[in-house]
Amino acid sequence: MAPSEEEATPQIIDCIPLIEAATKQKEEGNSAVKRKAYSEAVTSYTHGISILDKADGHPVLRTEGQQMVELKAVLYSNIAQCFLSQELYRRAIESADSCLQLDPSNAKALNRRSLAFEAIRSYAPALEDVLALQQLGGGGLSVESLAERAASLRAKQEEVERAAKEEADFKADDPIGMAMVNVKERFDEVVEKYDLRDGEAAGEVADWLTSGEWDVTPKRIAQRFKMEEEAGLGFRGLGSLGFGV
């Protein structure tokens, strides 16, 4: 039996209740932000996004669909600000990314992502976002402040590039010396952690550092200084210090 016209035609859903419910969550999140309850705010904003997601895959009126996209972008941008305030910079970047996927010209998200990138010393993408803000006319930020930020980020990026070049040149000029420096730095961390600078181990530590035995591994260190091995986890404390097995 052929499906009826009603069954064959997808029903457009009413998105107004979803928009109203998500807007309420946004307002609750904004209230939490004023109290600096950022985790609570993130929960409210995230709940608002989940409400709007219920319309995914369903036909909606164009105007209501646009309203939902705009509201969802605002919620993601607000989440980015909360993470920024909590100094959770990578999560702030992820939330700003989600906002900008929906609204590429969202000035607040661009600014928040730029600040988060700068906080983790990723100056090049931070500068890109500032330049994008300048192209958008500032998005509420003054031309002067954006120009100052752009100049500051350029200077920081140039310093990073200069330091990287100097390090690369140093490694190229003295690869053996650089290898010794790297091993010494890693080994010092273990010496400090296990208090090996004093007592009977001090002399042995010094001998090892000057012996030319540069293939330092957790097993060798543990065997030499009788460190405890934890079941299934390797030698306690060494994995986090960057020693390869």
Encode pLDDT of 194-235 as tens digits.
Answer: 665 555 565 666 666 556 555 555 566 666 655 555 444 444
User: pLDDT value at position 170?
Assistant: 76
Q: Are residues 157 and 40 in the same domain?
A: yes
User: pLDDT value at position 140?
Assistant: 84
Q: Are residues 35 and 116 in the same domain?
A: yes
- β-partners of residue 235 are 229
Domain range holding 129? 12-161
DSSP symbol at 152: H
Q: Is 223 among the domain residues? A: yes
Query: Measured between alpha carbons, how far is 117 from 59 in angstroms, rounded to an integer?
Result: 37
What is the SS3 assignment for 230? strand
The predicted-structure confidence for 107-154, as pLDDT tens digits, reads as follows: 999 999 999 999 999 999 999 999 999 999 888 889 999 999 999 999
Q: Is 6 among the domain residues? A: no
Q: Are residues 136 and 27 in the same domain?
A: yes
Q: Are residues 119 and 218 in the same domain?
A: no
Q: Count CB neighbours of 208 within 10 A.
A: 18
User: pLDDT value at position 46?
Assistant: 98
Reported confidence tier of residue 242, pLDDT bands at 50, 70, 90:
very low
User: pLDDT value at position 237?
Assistant: 46
Q: Are residues 95 and 135 in the same domain?
A: yes
Q: Are residues 146 and 234 in the same domain?
A: no
Q: Is 65 among the domain residues? A: yes
Q: Are residues 123 and 229 in the same domain?
A: no
The CATH number of residue 69's host domain is: 1.25.40.10
Query: Measured between alpha carbons, how far is 141 from 151 in angstroms, rounded to an integer?
Result: 15
Q: Are residues 121 and 217 in the same domain?
A: no
CA-CA distances (angstroms) from residue 208 to 86, 182, 193, 211, 221? 44, 15, 17, 5, 10
Q: Which of 119, 140, 161 is the last residue of a domain?
A: 161
User: pLDDT value at position 231?
Assistant: 47
Domain count for the chain: 2
Q: Which of 136, 161, 186 is the last residue of a domain?
A: 161
The predicted-structure confidence for 53-106, as pLDDT tens digits, reads as follows: 999 989 999 999 999 999 999 999 999 999 999 999 999 999 999 999 999 999
Q: Are residues 146 and 44 in the same domain?
A: yes
Reported confidence tier of residue 240, pLDDT bands at 50, 70, 90:
very low
User: pLDDT value at position 176?
Assistant: 61
Q: What are the b/e assignments for 81-105, b being 16+ CB within 10 Å?
A: bbbbeeebbebbbbbbebbbebbee
pTM of the model: 0.67
- β-partners of residue 230 are 234
Q: Are residues 155 and 229 in the same domain?
A: no
Q: Are residues 39 and 84 in the same domain?
A: yes
Q: Are residues 35 and 139 in the same domain?
A: yes
